[in-house]
Structure 1
Amino acid sequence: MKLFEYMGKEIFARFGLPVPKGRMAATPDEAAQAAEEIGGPVVIKSQVLSGKRGKAGGIKFANNPQGAKEAAQELLSMTIQGLPVEILLVEEKLQIDRELYLAITIDSAAKQPVLMASVYGGMDIEEVADEHIIKKYLDVELGMQNFMASDVVRSLGIPLNSPHGKELVKVINSLYELFIRKDAELVEINPLVISKGRVIAADSKLTIDDEALYRQADLPRAEERTKAEKAAHDLGLSFVELDGDIGVMANGAGITMGTLDTITYYGGRPANFLDAGGGTGTEGTAKALELILSRNPKSIIINIFGGITRCDDVASALATVKKTRGIPVPVVIRLVGTNQEAGRVILKDIGIEAYDFMQDAVKKAVELAGGN
């Protein structure tokens, strides 16, 4: 479970991590009041569970309450990566003297937590070369020791006997305590700011292990799915919205991921991940298709390797949607497996030819969407 930035910072504060002065706002008037209470220039941040909100225009600055109100009006009308902005965090604007990166997460290959730090904070960490990221693997039996935190601070080029060095050691120790006690999968501060002699968590990312939520009753809950993703969840379908224009449906997580990768390989951009699963049936498949159409794709690729899923069920569902609702974009289907001949007959009746190979079907879908 991902938490909003404001939720993460509330938890940070509980563990003694320094955070900026801030207030929540759900309306422009509340943003203005928050700015007045904080005093001085403020930053207004949209609260959405997605990255790159700054690049999407989801962060604005204001010098006074009226400016904060106007910025809030604009932000609350936005949608960022399919997520409507419904709440804002108004914070003091920090003077940034230096930006660092600090995080603890689980390394699934090493099967243990790893502390990561870098002097290149304030940017997409994925774009930072690996040699510029300090990594220290942590033994959960031993925990975080002062000498470990001190080693990381030294590696960042910050003297341990400086005020900043001492504060950073405390921050690293507190971050690990939070990570362990709250069953976190990720605790990230980007950037960790040095401002006028203070060390401050200017941002927060906190992801909690879903399987441990039963013992974290004091934590707030955040819904990270979009409206369409929630509808799919209620139908028992695995659906994730993406930012492309080719609708995707397949029967199984592996084959769906393979389809997405193949679309990208041929120069296309998938609009969604939709694993219709096995044995979904005609009605479930029809609802899955309606979810895809809600993304307004330029073309749709359906990739079915039928085992439990019967090819004639998929074909019947496609025919039902086409006849009752209509499908305003081209559909390409790869249909192989159980009852494939019966399914192909149904498709032929509605003017759709089935492909034998995924690559051929994907190339056609990309071409129809205006790609290569």
Structure 2
Amino acid sequence: MRLHEYEALDIFEYVGIPVPRRGIAGTMHEALQIAGEIGYPVMLKAQVLVGGRGLAGGIRMVSTPDELKEVAEGLLSSEIKGLPVRKILVCEKVEIAKELYVGITVDGYSGKPVIVVSTEGGVRIEETAKTSPEKIASIHVEPSFGYYPYQARTLLRMLGLKQQLITTWTDVIGKLYNIALRCEALISEINPLVVLPNGGLLAVDAVLEVDDSALSRIRYALPDRVERIENPLERRGREIGVTYVDLDGDIGLISSGAGLGMASMDIIGERMKPANFLETGGGITADLLYRCMELIMMKPDLRAIFINVYGGINPIHEGAKGVVRYIREHNVKIPIVAKALGNRQEETWEIFRSAGVHVVTEAATEKAIDRLYELVGGN
């Protein structure tokens, strides 16, 4: 779960990382009040869970109340990359002597935390890595050994920094690592970490993404992860306990595993367009598959549905009962193709066939997609 900037800044401030004076506003009047308390000029920053807000016009500086009224109203009625702006962060405008970068993530190869620092902040770290690799340094932290400040000092000396900056930046890195550890974060990042004219540091932006499986163990007060999902279909998927990703196509998909689902999407995509990704995991029941059908059918202009399930630990015959019940109760007319293999597969086939589902018994998913393509007319 990714946190909004203002939520991450609150946690950063709690552990002692210096952050700007700020407030969160849901209306133009709230923004005016916060700006009056902080003092102009201020920065208005749209709060959406997506990167690239600045390039999309979601970060603006205002110098007067009249200017704030116009900009705040515009931001609160806008969308950034398809996401509506419901709140804006009002924060002080600071003088910047230098912009730095610091981030902590998990190395996918070693599985260890990696600390990345750069003397070039305010831009995508990937771009800096390509154009100026000498301005980036990184170090892995051995989990059994832990993190110690000398590791950060060694890292920062590689960038040729002065001792005063090394000392203050080392303190920030230690606190950021503490957050990453306590929140079991997939990424914790400050970009930019600005150097003020007096030599101090300030985190003027904050990124924090928490591993969903760790949410119950984190002591910080975190928002409800379901409520913050903007897409109503994806929110419904989370509520019923399946992984659902909304797409632009018109072929609905239900699969019993992530790999099976992604392979199905790829094959569908060769000649048609999948409307979604949905995988049930290992807890198939008749009621769950009924709700999956309900979710799939919420998608407008659906042309067909493809069901691809495997009966290893999953009772696919029970899932088939849920699909059939939905078909009969709602008189579903669009073509439905099912490939169901594994435990009690023959029973599953007969249940599907009883409701007019087109069952493909071959093991290759391509065969099932061929049948699906024939049924939708090859359009």
* TM-score, L = length of structure 2: 0.76
Could you tell me which residue of structure 1 aligns to residue 157 of structure 2?
Answer: 154
Distance 1:279 1:150, change over 3 A: closer
Could you tell me which residue of structure 1 aligns to residue 309 of structure 2?
Answer: 304
Could you tell me which residue of structure 2 aligns to residue 320 of structure 1?
Answer: 326
Distance (Å, rounded) in 2 between the aligned partners of 1:336 and 1:198:
63
Could you tell me which residue of structure 2 aligns to residue 241 of structure 1?
Answer: 245
Distance 1:364 1:137, change over 3 A: farther
Superposed CA RMSD? 4.0
State the shift of 1:313 in Å.
4.8
Could you tell me which residue of structure 1 aligns to residue 180 of structure 2?
Answer: 179
* 8 Å CA contact 1:186, 1:207 repeated in 2: yes
For residues 326-355 of structure 1, the C-alpha deviation after alignment (integer angstroms, 9 at most, x for no partner) is 57x7755444451354255346x37x5758
Alignment of 1:73-222 (within 5 A): 73-78=73-78, 84-94=84-94, 98-107=98-107, 109-125=109-125, 129=129, 132=133, 133-140=136-143, 142-155=145-158, 157-161=159-163, 163-196=164-197, 197-208=199-210, 216-217=218-219, 219-222=220-223
5+ residue gaps, structure 2, are: none
State the shift of 1:55 in Å.
5.3
Distance 1:189 1:361, change over 3 A: farther
* 8 Å CA contact 1:304, 1:311 repeated in 2: no
Distance (Å, rounded) in 2 between the aligned partners of 1:311 and 1:195:
65
Distance 1:323 1:177, change over 3 A: closer
State the shift of 1:135 in Å.
2.3
Pair 1:255-2:263 in alignment: no
For residues 140-188 of structure 1, the C-alpha deviation after alignment (integer angstroms, 9 at most, x for no partner) is 4554334321222233x34223x44443222222222333355544321
Distance (Å, rounded) in 2 between the aligned partners of 1:317 and 1:121:
52
* 8 Å CA contact 2:247, 2:277 repeated in 1: no
Distance (Å, rounded) in 2 between the aligned partners of 1:67 and 1:287:
49
* 8 Å CA contact 2:294, 2:326 repeated in 1: no
* 8 Å CA contact 1:7, 1:220 repeated in 2: no
State the shift of 1:210 in Å.
5.4
Distance (Å, rounded) in 1 between the aligned partners of 2:98 and 2:272:
40
State the shift of 1:204 in Å.
1.1
Could you tell me which residue of structure 2 aligns to residue 287 of structure 1?
Answer: 291
5+ residue gaps, structure 1, are: none
* 8 Å CA contact 2:360, 2:367 repeated in 1: no
The residue type paired with residue 116 of structure 1 is: V
For residues 298-322 of structure 1, the C-alpha deviation after alignment (integer angstroms, 9 at most, x for no partner) is 5544322345343685386267348
State the shift of 1:269 in Å.
6.5
The residue type paired with residue 307 of structure 2 is: I
The residue type paired with residue 224 of structure 1 is: R
* 8 Å CA contact 1:41, 1:64 repeated in 2: yes
* TM-score, L = length of structure 1: 0.77
The residue type paired with residue 159 of structure 1 is: L
The residue type paired with residue 261 of structure 2 is: T
State the shift of 1:250 in Å.
0.5
Distance (Å, rounded) in 1 between the aligned partners of 2:374 and 2:60:
39
Distance (Å, rounded) in 2 between the aligned partners of 1:151 and 1:267:
54
State the shift of 1:203 in Å.
1.5
1:3 is paired with a residue of what secondary structure? Answer: coil
Pair 1:342-2:347 in alignment: no
* 8 Å CA contact 2:284, 2:318 repeated in 1: no
Deviates more, 1:219-228 or 1:29-38: 219-228
Distance 1:320 1:10, change over 3 A: closer
The residue type paired with residue 27 of structure 2 is: T
Could you tell me which residue of structure 2 aligns to residue 232 of structure 1?
Answer: 237
Aligned length: 364
Distance (Å, rounded) in 2 between the aligned partners of 1:67 and 1:354:
63
State the shift of 1:13 in Å.
1.7
Deviates more, 1:201-210 or 1:74-83: 74-83
Deviates more, 1:125-134 or 1:41-50: 125-134
State the shift of 1:14 in Å.
2.5
